[in-house]
Structure 1
Amino acid sequence: MILNRESKYYISEIHRTLTSYGYSREQLGVHPGTFSQKGDALTIWPVNSDHNFRVDFFGNIIEQIISLTSNKEHKSLTINKNSIITEDGEYFPGAFIVHPYHGIGIFQTNLIKNVSGENKQFIHLEYAKNDSLYFPKNREKELMVYIGRKKPRLTRLNSDSWHNTKQRVTENLLVLAKELLEIYSQRSAHKRKPFSKDFGFLRVLEESFDYKLTIDQQKALGEIIDNLTNTDYPQDHLLVGDVGFGKTEVAIRAASVVLASGRQVALLSPTTILSAQHETLLVERFKDLPIKIAQLSRFNSSNHTEIIDKISNNQIDFIVGTHKLLSEKINFENLGLLIIDEEQRFGVKQKEKLKKVKQNIDVISLSATPIPRTLFMSLSGLRSLSLINMPPIGRKGVSVSVKKFNQKTLIDYLKRELDRKGQIYYIHNRVQSIHAAKNRLAKLLKENKIKNRIFEKSMTKDDYVVIGVAHGQMSESGLSETMNHFLSGDIDILLSSTIVENGLDHPNANTLIIDNAEQFGLSDLYQLRGRIGRRDRKAYALFMIGGILSSFSEDKIISNTARERLSAIAEIEEIGGGWQLALKDLEIRGSGNLLGREQSGYMEAIGLLLYSKLLKEAVDHVKKDELKKHLQAKINSTSFSVQDKF
């Protein structure tokens, strides 16, 4: 931010900007990274300066900018952010920060200090017992944010405790690394030929696509293709990107490399609705290529026998489906790649089947909010990872509100979307009461003079607001028909279970309302939020505590965990926040389920990111040891055979 003399500013706007920059307001005096106001005078100590300044206003005009050290007047004042930028993000004062050699401290501020007659930038970190460390600003990438328990134990500087803690963790990780490598060595033992570098299919897909891939998409695609064409054993790749950021397009193009090598590809979807949408997309994308595509889900159960036979006889190249793809009846003739859309959506039984399938084929897992276990494995280097952080051009964020159930608020959200001829997702995740919710919603609309009617077959679209119902216990034909009418605009409000949380891409639906949001997991809330705001129209999400069938009393208490989940989802309004949300989920849930109680204690002692870094180092160390043993065994074997000849 730059303030110029004789220019117009609102002091309140400067306050807001300074606060967003990580500055705090003080009542008496200022120090680096703070500001104060007395009458029409604003005193600021920029973190990029070794002293403070007074900015005098006459009305909304800056009259003068004065250095409070030299009393010299300035034409302008540049104010830098009071933040630190690490490898994993930007953080402001109050954040718990891990220094690999000094331990866990709290980021206080950036500041300028004079060292040997020269002004240099430092980061002030505060440790236990008010110990302070001034760390060079130009080395801030060495720092890591702490992820683990909510309030970690701070470290004393110049004590042995941090060194001893790291030593215990490192020794434990060497044991863990051996166990993990044993699992992954089983995978690498399954050899395969690198896929062909004939990218003819890939070029056809590039030429037929309406948009240019973002830089992140290009990078992710390059990393995956490199894995496929330059390695001789199956790869396990995690592709993370926000909903609507183009993960599927990257996966499709990577699949074209496998298809061009004469191998089959399977795409596993968590829901029948998403499976059907994937099939439609694949048919469109591969229409100019000799690729046979089929779907296996309950939407086409009458054709299952024929499709399964064709899969076994290599007559289908690209098969998309739900967990039915994991059936023992299916024997792939030549499967080379499995694409898993939102792996965390599958149940325990399906995941056990996945483990068996994944051992000897390449896998690409797509996720917007990877579950902490998957996240951890990727951070530690045991799975290859690509991130798509860049949104498509024109995408806007979603405005999220978390409120206790209130009829007026609900009607306001419904009317705003209906008035602009848009459509609405209304999530009520209890199938047994969804029709009661439908009737209550219809009555509420009528009471507010909004004419409405329930969706029926062959009905004509008039000036009524039409309510449709969708859930997983409906018949295949009924569910398919309802979804098609919603996508075609015949249904205005889709009252649904969470069956819609994955995959639906409908630009005209830009309001989302969730009943009893306190009962949802963080990943579920984020996936549902991803149904809206997928184009350039502003989108709105209302997460209601309580719901349309039960008033939520003011004195009712929800759990701290539910409160933290709702706060986290409301905070991440910018698009591309899924990765950060997964880290937040780990912090809220703790790492007990991730690593087990013993490993959880080690991780929380030093934070997830340093733990993952040390685990990667331990894995590399064990790999080197194993390589040395292998080479020594080979040398010994050679020497024995030489002796045998003489």
Structure 2
Amino acid sequence: MTKLRKESIIIELKGNKYPNYNSLITRLIDFGYTRVNMVLDPDEFSVRGNIIDIYPESHSHPIRIEYDDDMIDRLNSFDTHTQRSLSKLKNTSFSKVDIDRKKKFSKPETLHSTDLLSEFFEGDYIVHEKYGIGQFMGLERKNFLNKEVEYIVLKYHGDDTVFVPLTQLRDIYKYSYNNDLPKVNSLNDGAWKKTRAKVKKSSENLAKDIFIIQKLRIHQKGYSFKEDTVRQLELEGNFEHVLTKDQASSIVEIKIDMEKSKPMDRLICGDVGYGKTEVILRAAFKALESGKQVALLVPTTILAEQHFKIFNARFKPFGYTVKVLSRFRQKGPQEETMKELKENKCNLVIGTHRILNKAIEFADLGLILIDEEQRFGVSHKETLKRFKKLVDVISVSATPIPRTLYMSLTGTKDISVIATPPKSKKNVLTYVGPHYDNIVNKAIKDELKRKGQVFYIHNRIQSIHSIKIKLLKQHPEAIIKVGHGQLNEKELQELLVDFLNKKIDILISTTIIENGIDIPNVNTIIIDRAEQFGLSQIHQLRGRVGRSDIQAYAYILYSKNKKLTKKAEDRLQAIREYGSLGSGYELAMKDLEIRGAGNLLGKEQSGHIVSVGFGLYCKLLEHSINEAKGITTKSKKYIDVPMDLITINPQYIPNIRERLSIYRRLLRLQKRDDIKGILNELEDRYGECPSEIYENFEAISSYRE
């Protein structure tokens, strides 16, 4: 592909050397810039009234140009994350887009942007506290008190439509769902009222149950582990990394629990690669130092083998025996391990649900560690419940739980949250774009060159082998294998062990390969046909790389020539924002949190989350728990803004999602002074406000706080 000839657009304020407004737009298109609603990435430009935003590849920040007719009134750089101006410029220049340019990577974790774009796309399912589950259909202007104001349009069963005043935006939640589409409510059958009442009653019962369990646990007698020994301090001193603040506080919480005489039942939540293993390793050692045995229960055979390597390496120098019970071990050694457990010759055993087998007897079990408890079956969970009455238990989950839920459960359930990544953990650099073979081949070539391995996610079994043939032509030296759901469990496990042991360079697989597998040498993931995935899936897939201190890369690629449905286009836009803005990162976390909440609260409550939506469910549960605690729930004090003062003319801010985000911020105002900040931002991003906005904002600032 030939490079485009270098040409430049030069802007010098001194001497008025620059193109006029229309000429600049025409030249930007000729230069290969992509016109978008909001500039987030290099080689994009946007037009809003008199303002043109441009992000030249050669610039560290994009630039904002405000025209007054054909004269430039303002020239600034600006920040993509906040969309606010940074510094004034006197001149600038930029060239044509280089189509062979280096790929654009972004780091979503560092950004926060829900104040820039509303999470509502047209057609999204939402929950209104009063009307129930419906669909968001956009905004519509209607007459109110002889004034044109905007209403939120919600569609319900049949032809039912509700025009909701903007002041009720706080009562509307995005309905997040993992699998099936929700059933839209009717406005005429009273079903929503009954559903809401049922969920409220259930959340009240749950809150009471939590307190009963807590009171019972206070009176239960368990084993009190002794204080830290010198050997404990020695083991902890051997750790080659510095603990994060969250790791350190989790360890302190666990040790305090272990030294108490009541049985511990603690949950540790933390994202993939945030250092949960070190936390449970120290707890296990503390139990061993008190002469007790420890069992570590994991969902898969490969995880058992991985944990064995880590625990054995750290515990062996102190004379402790660590063994594995799994299908990868021969029958003879397994029987030997069972004998040693009974005779107290094996100190720590790691394995799958086999550990729960009645044939396995422990001489003196003191602590059970459970990795991803929600992945075990009902009968295994029942067995675990019996264990929990007798010994200390720590459950570990990589699925986050929502902050609101965590805060409201504090004091009722013992939860440690590890929310900060280790310092050595680098952000996964993320590229979002159309699928081009040269991008894929370059990504693979770069990874193999540094002796790394590649995950290639392709979710169609019918065409997965043709991907292998295609990649082999480009990379004949690479060992490429395929994994999918038609392989049996043993074949899949063996495939993963080979991948872990660096016997495979590229593993092409469907999403069947589960999370939680720690393969530090895999630092490039290619996600094919990204438009077919939800954000939470993308986030979890992306979490499979970056498990060491080596820089990792994720390529989120969508089909380039396919005509996409409105839903797929919206999803792609959200993925693009995930890569650039980080707003999608928050949405992805929300999706995962729903799962986390369901895991934490059980099957019945999961059903309730589905029936009223996650946002409203959290609100109801928080209220019920506070009632059970005897705490009066205080709602935040916002300035009471009348709806006729909120409306912004669509000609001034044409994008619905941008307008909605401003409306939401106006409804969250707690101080009159905050209105000035929003007004300054509007002038910066969209140019001079229409007189109507100045008048409305002036009126809002005179309202009581």
Indicate the TM-score class for this superposition, using the shorter chain for normalisation.
0.5 to 0.7
Structure 2 residue 396 is the aligned partner of structure 1 residue 366: yes
Distance 2:609 2:535 in 1: 21
Alpha-carbon distance in structure 2 between the residues aligned to 1:390 and 1:441 = 37
Q: Greater relative contact order: 1 or 2 (C-alpha under 8 angstroms, separation 6 or more)?
A: 2
In the TM superposition, 1:497-646 aligns within 5 A as 501-514=514-527, 525-542=538-555, 554-555=562-563, 567=574, 571=578, 581-585=588-592, 596=605, 599-600=608-609, 604=613, 607-621=616-630
Q: Which of 433, 451, 469 lines up with 1:443 in the alignment?
A: 469
Asked if the contact 1:561–1:588 (Cα under 8 Å) also holds between the matched residues in 2, the reply is: no
Gap change, CA 1:399 and 1:563, over 3 Å in 2: farther
- The CA distance in 2 between the partners of 1:586 and 1:496, in whole Å, is 26
8 Å CA contact retained: 2:434, 2:558: yes
The equivalent of 1:236 in structure 2 is 265
Contact 1:237 1:363 in 2 (8 A): yes
User: 1:641 maps to what in 2?
Assistant: none
How far residue 348 of structure 1 moved from its aligned partner, in angstroms, is 4.2
- 1:27 corresponds, among 4, 27, 49, to 49
Distance in 2 separating the partners of 1:565 and 1:589: 25
| C-alpha separation in 2, matches of 1:145 and 1:479 | 45
Deviations 1:568-614 (A, max 9, x none): 69827899x99974423456999899655995499659735543432
Letter in 1 for 2:274: F
Tell me which residue corresponds to 1:79: none
Report 1:134-145 matches (<5 A): none
Q: Which of 310, 319, 324 is 2:349 aligned to?
A: 319
Cα distance in structure 2, aligned partners of 1:411 and 1:324 = 43
Deviations 1:500-536 (A, max 9, x none): 5344433332112356767777766544432311234
Q: Which letter maps to 2:285?
A: S
Q: Percent identity of the aligned residues?
A: 32
- Structure 1 residues 309 and 370: alpha-carbon distance in aligned structure 2, compared to 1, 3 A threshold: farther
Q: CA deviation at 1:556?
A: 6.8
Q: CA deviation at 1:278?
A: 0.4
Residues 279 and 500 of structure 1: is their aligned pair in 2 closer, same or farther, counting only changes over 3 Å?
Answer: farther
Alignment partners' CA distance in 1, 2:353 and 2:628:
33
Query: Partners in 2 of 1:518 and 1:467 — Cα distance?
Result: 25
- Partner of 1:258, secondary structure, is helix
- Code of the aligned partner of 1:611: L
Residue 198 of structure 1 and its aligned partner are, at CA, apart by: 3.3
Query: Is the deviation greater in 336-345 or in 582-591?
Result: 582-591
- Of residues 452, 469, 486 in structure 2, which corresponds to 1:422? 452
Q: Distance in 2 between matches of 1:129 and 1:574?
A: 29
Instruction: Please give the alpha-carbon distance, in whole angstroms, between the structure 1 residues aligned to 2:354 and 2:586.
Output: 29
Q: Distance in 1 between matches of 2:533 and 2:85?
A: 49
Equivalent in the alignment of 1:92: 115
Residues in 2 aligned to 1:306 and 1:605: alpha-carbon distance in whole angstroms:
49
Determine if contact 1:369/1:523 at 8 Å carries over to the other structure.
Answer: no
Which residues in structure 2 correspond to 1:175-194 (within 5 Å)? 175-183=205-213, 187-188=217-218, 190-194=220-224
Look up the equivalent residue of 1:554 and give its one-letter code: K
Q: Deviations over 1:63-111 (max 9, x none)?
A: xxxxxxxxxxxxxxxxxxxxxxxxxx985256699xxxxxxxxxxxxxx
> What does the per-residue CA deviation read over 1:255-298, in whole Å, with 9 as the maximum and x for residues that have no partner?
22222222221111121111101001001111222322111111
SS in 1 for 2:317: coil
- C-alpha separation in 1, matches of 2:503 and 2:615: 55
Match runs of 1:398-477 below 5 Å: 398-400=428-430, 410-427=440-457, 437-438=464-465, 440-448=466-474, 450-451=475-476, 464-468=477-481, 473=488, 475=490
Residue equivalent to 1:119: none
Q: Does 1:268 align with 2:297?
A: yes
The match for 1:391 is: 421
**How far did 1:132 drift?**
10
Match in the other structure for 1:257: 286
Instruction: Name the SS of the counterpart of 2:359 in structure 1.
Output: coil
2:242 equivalent among 212, 216, 222: 212
Distance 1:574 1:221 in 2: 34
Deviation string, structure 1 residues 419-443 (Cα, Å, up to 9, x no partner): 443211234678xx59x845x3442
Alpha-carbon distance between aligned partners in 1 of 2:570 and 2:376, rounded to the nearest angstrom: 26
Question: In the alignment, which of 218, 221, 232 is matched to residue 202 of structure 1?
Answer: 232
**Deviation digits for residues 197-241 of structure 1 (CA, Å, limit 9, x no counterpart):** 1333421211211122122211111122122223x3223222222
Q: What's the TM-score, normalizing by structure 1?
A: 0.62
The answer as to whether partners of 2:399 and 2:593 remain within 8 angstroms in 1 is no
CA distance 1:375–1:509, change in 2 (3 Å):
farther
Q: Structure 2: how far apart are the matches of 1:334 and 1:375?
A: 39
Kindly indicate whether the alpha-carbon contact (under 8 Å) linking 2:247 and 2:279 is maintained by their aligned counterparts in 1: yes
User: Where does residue 648 of structure 2 map in the other structure?
Assistant: none
Structure 1 residue 332: deviation in Å?
Answer: 2.8
Partner Cα separation in structure 2 for residue 365 and residue 269 of structure 1: 10
Distance in 1 (alpha carbons) for counterparts of 2:368 and 2:572: 32
Partners of 1:479 and 1:132 lie apart in 2 by 52
Counterpart position of 1:343: 373
CA distance in 1, matches of 2:298, 2:238: 24
Aligned equivalents of 1:357, 1:237: Cα separation in 2: 14
CA distance in 1, matches of 2:240, 2:219: 41
CA separation of 1:149 and 1:368: change in aligned 2, threshold 3 A = closer
Q: Is the 8 A contact 1:507 1:533 kept in 2?
A: yes
**Unaligned segments of structure 1, at least 5 residues:** 7-11, 30-34, 47-51, 62-88, 98-125, 134-142, 152-164, 452-463, 547-551, 623-646
Q: Match for 1:294 among 309, 318, 323?
A: 323
**1: CA distance, partners of 2:298 / 2:89:** 60
| Gapped regions of structure 2 (runs ≥ 5) | 1-12, 15-27, 29-35, 41-45, 52-63, 79-83, 94-111, 121-151, 153-162, 183-194, 632-705
User: Number of residues paired by the alignment?
Assistant: 506
| 1:284 corresponds to | 313
Q: Which deviations, in whole Å up to 9, do the C-alpha atoms of 1:313-352 show, x marking residues without a partner?
A: 3222211111212222223332222212222333444334
DSSP 3-state at the match of 1:298 = coil
The equivalent of 1:630 in structure 2 is none
Amino acid at match of 1:362: D
Give the TM-score normalised by structure 2: 0.57
2:580 & 2:291 partners in 1: Cα distance? Answer: 44
Q: Distance in 1 between matches of 2:530 and 2:349?
A: 35
CA contact (8 A) 1:515 1:544 kept: yes
- C-alpha change, 1:272 and 1:166, in structure 2 (3 Å) is closer
Alpha-carbon distance in structure 2 between the residues aligned to 1:404 and 1:211: 39
Q: Which residue is 1:58 aligned to? A: 90
SS at match of 1:534: coil
Whole-angstrom distance in 2 between the partners of 1:590 and 1:242? 15
Between the aligned partners of 2:204 and 2:505, the Cα distance in structure 1 is 57
Q: 1:579 to 1:172 in 2, by over 3 A?
A: same
Map 1:56-135 to 2 at 5 A: 57-60=89-92, 91-92=114-115, 129-131=165-167
Provide the rounded CA distance (Å) in 2 between the counterparts of 1:443 and 1:203: 53
Q: Give, in whole Å, the separation in 1 of the partners of 2:86 and 2:543.
A: 46
Contact residue 146 and residue 607 of structure 1 kept, 8 A: yes
Opposite residue 229 of structure 1, the aligned amino acid is E
